Structure 1
């Protein structure tokens, strides 16, 4: 049995047809087989967009909209996309479609004008807070895959870059078993090793900290904002990271803790943040130093307007040149999209000015005004 191909126009409006023999899971066989991974991967790369057939056809450089429409129909039948009519037929990837993307076959060499033998982008990965992390290129592969490989080889990584560029999100996506210590100037040894806590009925018991738990259970440990932590406190990590793999808890009767298989430490560092000090002792413990910057393409994919992204790029260039004290990163641009969807564009622009440090607000307002053509000031309440 073959599936009829729906007709489509240039705008992606397709005529409904009868039935489908699409399987519930996996890519279909037959003449649309080479298109399936291309269409699915494009939708996975744009999870927040509701796309017309024509838009997808043009983006992947397919030969016809009819083949793309047939693939989308099969994906809808499998629950991998939602299908809307307004009056054009539009499609958006579902979580089931994203999950299925991990098993997509690569498009054969030479299939379609836009095909390539380069491995496709992995599907976005859910973080503990439910937000999706979009993998980025690193070395010969993708960041989360390479981090997992470095963990298997016991090669520690220090991530550095401005706050809000996705360092923590990347580590959370790479390691589902992650434990985290959020570093500040007030972090103490007990925050890593544990301390005595009172118990009902009187007395105290020693409750082990995240470093001990990670070592014993063979889990990954993220030391976030590590360079804000006093160096004498960070020294508690060093025996766990070197060949010994053993720490001693003096406060609990010199208890010895040995690192189990899979134990791994990764740290985050925000250069330029007040109070951040990257000591030689800390830097030398990490074999790989990886800079993490904002991916502007991902910001656009997630809905940040072109003018706002361009303003952010200008501000980041000024930040690098020492001309301003702050520039929005991916975190702020994701927040911008949420505020825009809730309060509107004008309020979102004003809020982006308002969240900037006071010394940088004038610079942010000027950049946004320049790119949007609209005078912008910090968000505030109006009259009744």
Structure 2
């Protein structure tokens, strides 16, 4: 029973993960889709919600179940009724489910590679994310369990450490609001937009979409958003799980099963203020730091990693306001392949804020042993 009649459409890696199809390496990368399909087939004629199926199967993420159900509906194996979301198996789905093997329990550690490294999770942009250890499990697993229990989480750490990446890896249905000082309430709930004929149409924002479709919503750089704007989230996050669109007919929006809010916070970014009102809304605060072992595993040269470790120690001690994180280290590797070693080092130095640049250049010189000048366009040759 294939979830998509056109397997080449969409992200192949994501499709294999959700369906349990064999990967190129010949191993099964997931078993959720067959479990969902078989459960739905065992309950013909019953409209079932993602939350009901998640609970029955005792899996950590209703978002992942929702994704499997949507793939079934796209393939004609189920009907999809929205607002609230309900799925009912079709006869084609029952017939196809009969060809699926019965689900088997996942062996302990089956998501771990032969040498103990967790297998990567494919993000929506196609990039791999390597789960990291957290609370006796992995960061991806922990976020999925927190969503299942409706426990909001605040991810904090310097830019480039992977806060957005882990959220995307954990929640394939993720929507994102990128926060700035100019973010307004309408960026969350929606607004009227002009039409070609001169009229206006109200377009719902990501908060409304996430609530109605039972999706996860990441508020990135949340502490850059004015507190009075963030207040629009609070009734959606508490026991009410309801908001009212005062700008559009006082429409009432209720959260469907699976709706979840998490936020990202960059403490060192100018203008970022974590208010008590915001902090108290998130029951779990998780620091996200750069995994330097992973940087080495992904091919970042040892000298660059060592320089980054030294600079991050100074960052933690308050001596610097910036240090290269995983994002910059991976960028260094790409630039090195494109422009050569010397240009990559110069570019890394140039990425440092001006106030920190002298110290950054000193650390880079100590590990690369070369005179370092940030990239600059010079005179004609």
Instruction: Output the TM-score relative to the length of structure 1.
Output: 0.70
Change (3 A) 1:344 1:98: farther
List gaps (5 residues or longer) in structure 1.
1-79, 81-94, 109-114
Matches within 5 A, 1:181-200: 181-200=177-196
Name the counterpart of 1:7: none
Residues 204-252 of structure 1: CA distance to partner in whole angstroms, max 9, x if unpaired? Answer: 1110000000000000000000000000000000000000000001000
Contact kept, 8 Å, 1:303 with 1:337, in 2: the verdict is yes
CA distance in structure 1 between the aligned counterparts of 2:253 and 2:313, rounded to whole angstroms: 46
Matching of residue 285 in structure 1 with residue 281 in structure 2: yes
CA distance in structure 1 between the aligned counterparts of 2:178 and 2:252, rounded to whole angstroms: 24
Name the counterpart of 1:273: 269
Residues 97-122 of structure 1: CA distance to partner in whole angstroms, max 9, x if unpaired? Answer: 397455795689xxxxxx99xxx543
CA distance in structure 2 between the aligned counterparts of 1:102 and 1:217, rounded to whole angstroms: 24
Name the counterpart of 1:36: none
CA-atom RMSD in angstroms: 2.2
Name the counterpart of 2:226: 230
Q: Of 154, 159, 164, which residue of structure 2 is paired with 1:158?
A: 154
Contact kept, 8 Å, 1:125 with 1:132, in 2: the verdict is yes
Larger radius of gyration: 1
Name the counterpart of 1:358: 354
Instruction: Output the TM-score relative to the length of structure 2.
Output: 0.71
Matching of residue 299 in structure 1 with residue 292 in structure 2: no
Report the 3-state secondary structure (helix = DSSP H, G, I; strand = E; otherwise coil) of the residue aligned with 1:196.
strand
Report the 3-state secondary structure (helix = DSSP H, G, I; strand = E; otherwise coil) of the residue aligned with 2:25.
helix
Q: Which runs of 4+ in 1 moved over 6 A?
A: none
Matching of residue 213 in structure 1 with residue 141 in structure 2: no
Q: Of 125, 130, 138, which residue of structure 2 is paired with 1:129?
A: 125
CA distance in structure 1 between the aligned counterparts of 2:27 and 2:345, rounded to whole angstroms: 34
Change (3 A) 1:333 1:248: same
CA distance in structure 2 between the aligned counterparts of 1:172 and 1:123, rounded to whole angstroms: 16
219-228 or 139-148, which deviates more: 139-148
Contact kept, 8 Å, 1:181 with 1:210, in 2: the verdict is yes
List gaps (5 residues or longer) in structure 2.
1-21, 32-105
